[in-house]
Chains A and B, each alone.
Chain A
Amino acid sequence: RKEVEQDPGPFNVPEGATVAFNCTYSNSASQSFFWYRQDCRKEPKLLMSVYSSGNEDGRFTAQLNRASQYISLLIRDSKLSDSATYLCVVTPSNTGKLIFGQGTTLQVKP
């Protein structure tokens, strides 16, 4: 079983739609959680951290459910520029190491 699992998609949605991605992790001792974004043929970049109480950054909302070991990302009012691969990332300990999911691809259509 992979340590971090995501549905690879692709998710094809129209502009303005709301879309949600989920991610599950296997290590219950995981400490920190993130969403990274990777544009086509570019490097990954941090999108947002995920906090236990849930957090929002503009149109993006991240949630963490420790009991069920899953993380979610909600994107409201999708824009064409949101088209990218979204990587779920978990830190298993205080080592600075990150465990990446394989990513979920989002394609927003006009």
Chain B
Amino acid sequence: DVKVTQSSRYLVKRTGEKVFLECVQDMDHENMFWYRQDPGLGLRLIYFSYDVKMKEKGDIPEGYSVSREKKERFSLILESASTNQTSMYLCASSLRGAGGETQYFGPGTRLLVL
């Protein structure tokens, strides 16, 4: 069974703080993704990675960065948190190639920036 875990279910941070969201998958998937989900807007892709040390911008990368030093771990970084980054953050992973269309999601991190 694929397992994707995220470091926190709930986080409260202050404006200007640096925030790290960690995601780990145990299925040796090449692809990893970070989304945010907001009411009325659905899931929006922030960044993704096809391999270790590789990263690609998604649709809304501004204000975020990522790190993929190991295959199983994909970190999302908010360099200086702002209130408009209050959201649900979801990490996902998938295989490269055949079967890669199925993404497996972590449980999500609800981030509140005050």
Please state if B101 and A101 are interface contacts (CB–CB under 8 Å): no
Which residues on B sit within 8 Å (CB–CB) of A32?
A: 101
Kindly specify which of B14-22, B43-51, B66-74, B77-85 makes contact with the partner chain.
B43-51
Please state if B42 and A34 are interface contacts (CB–CB under 8 Å): no
A-B contact pairs, 18 of them (CB 8 A): A42-B108, A43-B106, A43-B107, A45-B105, A46-B103, A87-B43, A91-B101, A96-B50, A96-B94, A96-B96, A96-B100, A96-B101, A97-B45, A98-B45, A98-B103, A100-B42, A102-B41, A102-B42
- Interface positions, chain A 22-73, Cβ under 8 Å from B, are 32, 34, 42-46, 49
Q: How far is the CB of A98 from chain B (nearest CB, A)?
A: 6
Determine chain B's interface SS by DSSP, over half rule. loop
| Complex alpha-carbon distance, A27 and B71, angstroms | 31
A sample of 19 more A-B contacts (CB under 8 A), given A32-B101, A43-B108, A44-B90, is: A8-B40, A34-B101, A34-B102, A43-B90, A43-B105, A44-B43, A44-B105, A87-B42, A91-B101, A96-B48, A96-B100, A97-B45, A97-B58, A98-B103, A100-B35, A100-B42, A100-B43, A101-B42, A103-B42
**Chain B contact residues (Cβ within 8 angstroms of A): what range?**
20 to 34
| Complex alpha-carbon distance, A100 and B31, angstroms | 17
Which residues on A sit within 8 Å (CB–CB) of B33?
A: 97
Which residues on A sit within 8 Å (CB–CB) of B43?
A: 44, 87, 100
Chain A positions within 8 Å of B, measured between CB atoms, are: 8, 32, 34, 42-46, 49, 87, 91, 96-98, 100-103
Which residues on A sit within 8 Å (CB–CB) of B58?
A: 97
| Complex alpha-carbon distance, A44 and B45, angstroms | 14
Which residues on A sit within 8 Å (CB–CB) of B96?
A: 96
Q: How far is the CB of B46 from chain A (nearest CB, A)?
A: 12
Which residues on B sit within 8 Å (CB–CB) of A98?
A: 45, 101, 103
Which residues on A sit within 8 Å (CB–CB) of B94?
A: 96
